[in-house]
A and B are shown apart, each in its own frame.
Chain A
Amino acid sequence: MDPAGPAAARIATLWWTMLAGSAAIFALVMLLLLIAYRRTPAPHQSERRQERFWLYGLGLAFPLVTLAALLIYGLVLGETLLPKSGEKVVTVRAEARQWSWSFGYADAAGRRTQGVLHIPAGRPVNVEITSLDVVHSFWAPRLAGKLDAIPGQVNVLRIEAAAPGEYHGVGAEFSGPGYSGDAFTVIAHDAAGWDAFLGRAKE
């Protein structure tokens, strides 16, 4: 809940919106429940009118409208988070195993790092995720959502760090006894630092 990149930031906004909406709906339901105990029922109210209010109105129309709005918001947002190609996009590769992460870089063939993923800050990064044994999941909470590492399959996740720094990452799908300690670090470099990293890699 302390976003450090555009993807995580947009998801955080989504969360606060949904929390506010949910709190309002919850309050409404509780209020209706409370009033039920406080009021004296109106005599001879027709069943038909009550059905129209409670079932057509609150039961059917109300959730349909709210949910449609939320759904569209979620889908449009989801679309902006997808990994699309572009000039500035950097591609890296993440390989999970029990219980460590190994990273490779498209811009520096043959270069591998263990437990530390290097990325440039301020540029979109596509992480190609796969697994060598069981199902894992790549998750750097402050940068983006998570995506599973599945043996025999490559999934691509878009992450981006707004500023240089170190970010915490974990394996986020239960993977056996070593699961609790399954973590890695993402280091976001400034432009000079990234060049230096790639340059060092070329040596």
Chain B
Amino acid sequence: MNALARHRALSRIWSSEPGWRGVISTVNHSDIGRMFLLVATLFFLIGGVLAMLIRTQLATPHSAFVAPAIYDQIFTMHGTIMMFLFAIPLFEGAAVYLLPKLLGTRDLAYPRLSAFGFWCYVFGGLMLVFAMLAGLAPDSGWFMYPPLSSSAHSPGVNADFWLIGVTFVEVSAIAAAVEICVSILKFRAPGMSLDLMPIFAWYALVTALMILMGFPPLILGSILLELERAFGFPFFESALGGSPLLWQHLFWLFGHPEVYIIFLPAAGVISTVLPVMARTALLGYRWVVAAAVALAFLSFGLWVHHMFATGIPHMGLAFFSAASTLVAVPTGIQIFAWLGTLWKGRPRLTLPMLYIIGFFLTFVIGGLTGVMVAIVPFDWQAHDTAFVTAHLHYVLFGGFVFPMLAGLYYWLPQITGRKRFFRIGEMAFWLIFLGFNGAFLAMHWVGLLGQRRRIAWYPEDAGWTAINLFSSISSFVMAIGVAMVVFDIALHALLAIRGSRNPWGAGTLEWAMPTPPAAYNFASIPIVGDREPLARDPELANKIARGEYFLGAPRGGLRETLTVDAASGNPEALVIFPGNSTLPIALAAATGAAFLGALIRAYWIVPIALLFVVGLSLRWGWSQREAAYPGLQNVGRATLLPQAIDTDRSPGWWGSAFLLLADAVLYGSLFFGYAFLWTVGPNWPPPQWLSLSVLELALGLIGAAAAAFGLHVAARAASRGASLWRGLFVALAGSGMTIAALAMTLTRAGQLTDYAYGATMFVMIAYALIHAAIAAIMTSSLVYQTLRGGAACPRTSNVNIVRLWTDYAAFVAATSLIATQFSSYLT
């Protein structure tokens, strides 16, 4: 088979359906990645228009451009869109598009999950856009502090759009994060050990782990606040045992890591692009990886620096102030590693490099003002002024948008296979750069003069008029620059001529393929022994196309790739991917219907939609169940590998483990809230405790133990090929007992929810009940598979997945029962 025939055969197998059907049924990472990038850019433009409205309002004193009621919606939506609908999805899009190409594989771990995440994002974003067009957009500021966002002070549906719409979008972020983690750890080219991974993959891995740990506190906060708004559970109502500060803690537990979730991918782009522009390798690869990991760890220890003015004791503030200044160290290491790389090499002044220089100028200023506001006394003055607005734009625009524009112009030839010939991009850079600095340098100044953020008007005698006008005009200059970038890209896509394959002389694998890339990425999966395989072997691309490496022989119409050992990169198993499917969009629509039902308070929709969600999920799991071929498979180069689904820990197991990590963080946040209200919340203890019921406790604990034990037995039986019946029976009975015990406790807690304590008990038990139900449903599906028998008989890998979920459900049931039943004895 020659290279062309191989290309045709693989294209037939991997290509999406033509036309509109292709859009809704594609599961290919290149398609999904491009769709993510496109939609995120659209949201960036919407958010940018809102920003221009804000600057129009503030250009003159006593502005009557829009009324405060509308203005509040505008700035709330500007922040919300830029954070949740632009920055995070743009990272997801870049990672989804690039990672398999950088890692030398053919697709991400769960192609259908990528599509599901994308559609959740689109539907959630549409909800928020609809709210805005209808004049019902959230208006309490993007951090939604209660009681302002509680039903007493925000009676309309506006805040619900935020809580439910944003949570829906976060589902998509969690899905993408699980996918990115598993893909980077398991789906790489053979031989690519962790140490040889492209630096962007390290950054993406750290970022994805941060999403898994950082988003759950906000998801929990949103659930609690929505429960307060809809059903009067008073978590944030101080008179009833709650505390408004609980929201601030949960929000910033998410909100600060979020800043680094946004910055790290951008730093990954710089660490990739800058060395290529300097014609050398990155200085201190291991230092940079360590710095990224350190940044991730530290970022979870400094959320309180957003709360310096809330009356927390000074000793507590000292700790968080120290942690906040400490993050400047790993940031500094990266900055100096990049500067050192430039010194080491022979830097060129190309368009991507221009944007990176723009990044250096702005981000260093943002970092320095960041250190300033990390110093407690200064923050007491600067907090909630335009100084902070200016600081955060220097960090986010300087630290994210500039690098992403550098990345855009760097990878554009890879995505389109064309080369630029107009110099619009350079002009646009200068407009954006000068406009940005004009707009936001001025804002530091006016903030120090006392201008608060989020004001809709200011008096003439404040002396801020000229500065604000200058800032507004500069921001419009910047907007023109952004419009020119969009125009440049459009021209590029329509008119530009074909370019060469590796125009920058880069060394990573995404340039070792024809451009624009084919749906299957690599005609054969290369063997990697170097951080820059393409630099070492210029013939690599041709060898890949000639099928000299793994899986060079397409067969059976199946989408195949390899998994590797996470650390060493030794090939481990053959993976067969699912093909095009409309299941993801259907599941996203059903999930969206459940959210929408809760949003418009038509609660009868929710259970119906959830039934669809369960049904579609089971179907999803089903269609993956059977392997195509029995036994060991020849994957080329005389290598025999088992299929991933026949191994003990299939990709599904890894995905479950990462998803449960996020789930456990949510559960941990719930305990944090419980402990916080107990120790810090005013008006504690509650008037009435949940009394101890020995029956519920004993039934629940025995049931949880039985469920876990039953699956332990079943998993052992499955690995020996013995009958699963005994284990499954015990597990199912155990789950039933747990569900009964939890339901009884829930009924009693349900009578106490007019006080924060009882409401917390209720949520804790409800959480355990949901997980017990998930475990029971999954066990039942194993029972069904066993009943059908034959080839459908459950594989060890499937039993292991159910076992993982059941163990977690048992742990949650036991801990939540103990925490609630004994609470009256803890006083």
Contacts and interface: CB of A to CB of B under 8 A. Distances in A.
Partners in one complex: yes
Interface of A: 1, 8, 10-11, 14-15, 18, 22, 25-26, 29-30, 32-33, 35-37, 39, 41, 45, 47, 50-51, 53-55, 58-60, 62-64, 67, 70-71, 73-75, 77-79, 81-82, 98, 133-135, 137, 141, 144-148, 150-153, 155-156, 168, 170, 172-181
Contacts of B291: 59
A172 B68 contact: no
A155 B313 CA distance: 10
Interface string B427-462: 000000000000000000000111011111110000
A145 B342 contact: no
A36 B347 contact: yes
Contact of B380 (A29, A70, A71, A147): A147
B340 A53 contact: yes
B329 A64 contact: yes
A78 B238 contact: no
B377 A81 contact: yes
B88 interface: no
A150 B383 contact: no
Nearest to A176: B148
Contact of A54 (B283, B371, B383): B283
A63 B377 contact: no
B153 interface: yes
27 contacts: A1-B449, A11-B377, A11-B380, A14-B377, A25-B368, A29-B339, A29-B360, A37-B342, A41-B345, A47-B283, A55-B287, A55-B336, A59-B332, A60-B329, A62-B332, A63-B329, A63-B332, A67-B326, A75-B318, A135-B244, A141-B450, A145-B377, A146-B381, A170-B452, A179-B456, A180-B455, A180-B457
B108 interface: no
Contact of A8 (B239, B342, B381): B381
A174 B321 contact: no
B339 A54 contact: yes
A148 B311 contact: yes
A78 B147 CA distance: 29
Nearest to B387: A15
B337 A59 contact: yes
B378 interface: yes
A59 B287 contact: yes
A173 B384 contact: yes
Contacts of B361: 30
Contacts of B335: 29, 59
Nearest to B332: A63
Closest 6 CB pairs of A and B: A145-B380, A152-B238, A54-B340, A155-B311, A59-B333, A74-B375
Range for the number of chain B residues in contact with chain A: 35 or more
Contacts of A173: 145, 309, 384
A193 B321 CA distance: 41
A179 B68 contact: yes
A60 B336 CA distance: 9
B340 A55 contact: yes
A60 B294 CA distance: 13
B649 interface: no
Interface in B267-292: 278, 283-284, 287, 291
B627 interface: no
A14 B382 CA distance: 12
A131 B140 CA distance: 17
Contacts of B332: 58-60, 62-63
Contact of A74 (B147, B376, B449): B376
A174 to B, nearest CB: 4
A10 B380 CA distance: 12
B342 A135 contact: no
A18 B378 contact: yes
Nearest to B448: A1
A145 B309 contact: yes
Nearest to A1: B448
A82 to B, nearest CB: 6
Nearest to B369: A22
B381 A11 contact: yes
B344 A18 contact: no
Nearest to A64: B329
Contacts of A26: 364-365, 368
B578 interface: no
A2 to B, nearest CB: 9
B69 interface: yes
